[in-house]
Amino acid sequence: MIFKKKNRAMTILEYTMIVSLVVVVCIVGFRSIGSGYSKIYSNISDAVPGNLPEG
């Protein structure tokens, strides 16, 4: 019984570490995608200066 509890705790710890890693990768990915889109929209805005509202 003691071995099963210890094994269960390790499994929970492993899953927690995997989920944490996935969250970090998602945050980094979303930030890089967001900055890429920001550059695209900035380039479009610069190409058509009179037709887009300021703000």
Report pLDDT digits (tens) over 1-55: 455 666 777 788 899 999 999 999 999 988 888 877 778 878 887 777 665 565 5
pLDDT computed for residue 1 by the predictor: 47
* 19-23 LR contacts (CB < 8 Å, sep 24+): none
pLDDT computed for residue 54 by the predictor: 59
pLDDT computed for residue 43 by the predictor: 80
pLDDT computed for residue 46 by the predictor: 79
pLDDT computed for residue 14 by the predictor: 92
